[in-house]
Structure 1
């Protein structure tokens, strides 16, 4: 047993860079798991800097100096944040208030529909089962209401934190964009000068993750905007809330589209019932999802590393459980990073050297 374990160590950890890579990965995981909330503004700043770096590069290609490109990009970021804070959030708040006010009516209609099931299908559904389901639904809504009340009572610290984010994160983004080269060189100064494996992983993942983040943000904006236009033209209630939900659903591959279908269908059903408008809504929603999966995603992520659907779902579950929304958002690039590390890992260095020396000896003979 000891011999097998020693052989495994020699095979995967005979190279010094492999040991250093394990230490760096372990240290990064410990920092993120223990200080993730404290470092959240910096992590958000790095993510947004990845998003805006493309604008800086494009402005520099057009002949703008670095300081002007960074300044214009920062002004664009501030304008976007101001639009979200002053235009989008009030609309979301109003539609959320309307939705919560209509929840009792929707619940009553849902109860009437469920009570028809025992009459039409007495062998499959009983009145007791319907009553149990309605009791559980009412209890869940009661807990949700209590949570909203407690949230409104204790929301002042969260509002302060949001204001801190709106002030601190843009400042961090500005300095990340302005001094990105200096920061990368400073971090690299702590690493060994000869690091072929880490350099290979870095060069492979840097551009890929940046392209993925920017592509995913563009996909969210396009799908959300298209959904809002369609919902508004059809006259769907809570068009902004549903459009935001559909836009954010693209963050989670396969699962998001399936989950967000339920609220879209429920809102349409409670508004129109089994009418032609409801079927038009579901047809339009299906077209949006089909265009997103078959046209938009191949255009935005044509150079992305192919991952098996099982690997993607496992990445979403694992990283989402560890880091919440950002873990879900970065599930695919993190899974790609794991794949790149596994493929670039130095394996059997001593064995390769022995084989090489053996080949040289054979040539000399």
Structure 2
């Protein structure tokens, strides 16, 4: 059986894609800092190039890289510092309010459920013991708990510290030598395939740029929504909690969970009752529905040409296969795969036309 050149190229690209997927699956934890660094370098390289061009050759590229990376790290730290005051201010209050809230829930729901033959009784004493144990203001005990957890899960702690060090280092070298790395990769492409490869990469670059712009739009809209919605219901920490939640949506699910936790804390501590819990549940539930079924499919999915169901499937499938790394690369990788599938389909239809 004879294979056409188109079929051979398709088989070669499929083999390369399979090898890449296998490498991600086997080496996911090891590759995480480098993949994150590469994604960040892809995003920040245009800024470095712009700053480098602004200096018109008088500014060393290393200096431009240091400026951009330092500003990026400062922005990340600023976002993280939005959360620190919330915990510092509210954890001691949370220790006092949670038992009272459990007592109120018990007194309110117990008699009402008893009318239907349902007996529910919260063990307030156990809740108080749990709160005192895990939310104690005694920093010596807290420090001891941290040390014991680090001993038990040393590999996890080491991985976190290692990634925190490796990602900035990898980002620095990738930004500094981005053009050289790209040139080395291009040398691996056979001359016969160079023109087709360049066209493919140009189209993939366009799709990825649209993805990033769409994701930034989603984050901005959600940051405004959560801040305004919480402020309308009288939350004192509406702006920091809302901005953090919106920006954290860059990491699907995890960002929403952290924002929801902070909002619940703020609501319970400020209002001391079910009002704060119900408001947070309503605001965040509506926000999650709007984000999942409208914002992400419309602003991100449509920009990269993916159906809303394909967006949801990509997040779940990549997360299942590659864990946290898969969630990070799900939509960008799907965008590149979409370009590949489009080209394979076009080549197939063209070959059918010639055969007919």
What is the TM-score of this pair, normalised by structure 2? Answer: 0.69
User: Following TM superposition, by how much is the alpha carbon of 1:90 offset from its aligned partner in structure 2, in angstroms?
Assistant: 3.8
Moved more, 211-220 or 14-23: 211-220
Q: Is the 8 A contact 1:41 1:169 kept in 2?
A: yes
Instruction: Tell me which residue corresponds to 1:24.
Output: 16
Question: 1:61-140 residue pairs with structure 2 within 5 A?
Answer: 62=54, 64-65=56-57, 67=61, 68-81=63-76, 83=78, 87-88=81-82, 90-91=84-85, 93-94=87-88, 97-98=91-92, 101=95, 102-119=97-114, 122=116, 126-127=118-119, 130=120
- Could you tell me how far apart the structure 2 residues matched to 1:57 and 1:302 are? 28
Q: Is the 8 A contact 1:106 1:270 kept in 2?
A: no
Q: Is the 8 A contact 1:312 1:332 kept in 2?
A: yes
Q: Is the 8 A contact 2:314 2:331 kept in 1?
A: yes
Does 2:32 align with 1:33?
no
Question: 1:235-246 residue pairs with structure 2 within 5 A?
Answer: 235-236=235-236, 240=240, 243-246=243-246
CA gap 1:18/1:292 in 2 versus in 1, 3 angstroms: closer
What is the TM-score of this pair, normalised by structure 1? Answer: 0.67
Question: 1:287-326 residue pairs with structure 2 within 5 A?
Answer: 304-326=303-325
Residue in structure 1 matching 2:188, options 174, 187, 190? 190
- Could you tell me how far apart the structure 2 residues matched to 1:237 and 1:78 are? 24
Does 2:197 align with 1:202?
no
- Could you tell me how far apart the structure 1 residues matched to 2:321 and 2:330 are? 11
- Could you tell me how far apart the structure 2 residues matched to 1:269 and 1:92 are? 13
CA gap 1:83/1:280 in 2 versus in 1, 3 angstroms: closer
CA gap 1:350/1:261 in 2 versus in 1, 3 angstroms: same
CA gap 1:119/1:221 in 2 versus in 1, 3 angstroms: same
Instruction: Tell me which residue corresponds to 1:164.
Output: 162
* Cα deviation 1:149-202 (Å, max 9, x = unaligned): 987523364554444333322221122112111111111212222225544332
Q: Is the 8 A contact 2:208 2:304 kept in 1?
A: no
Q: Is the 8 A contact 1:250 1:257 kept in 2?
A: no
Instruction: Tell me which residue corresponds to 1:362.
Output: none
Q: Is the 8 A contact 1:237 1:267 kept in 2?
A: yes
Indicate the SS of the match to 2:314: helix
CA gap 1:155/1:16 in 2 versus in 1, 3 angstroms: same
Indicate the SS of the match to 2:315: helix
Does 2:345 align with 1:347?
no
- Could you tell me how far apart the structure 2 residues matched to 1:280 and 1:154 are? 34
Instruction: Tell me which residue corresponds to 1:334.
Output: 333
RMSD: 4.9
- Could you tell me how far apart the structure 1 residues matched to 2:26 and 2:206 are? 28
- Could you tell me how far apart the structure 2 residues matched to 1:212 and 1:151 are? 39
Indicate the SS of the match to 2:323: helix
Larger RCO of the pair (alpha carbons < 8 Å, separation 6+): 1
Indicate the SS of the match to 1:347: helix
Q: Is the 8 A contact 2:65 2:176 kept in 1?
A: yes
The runs of 5 or more residues in structure 2 that have no matched partner are 135-141
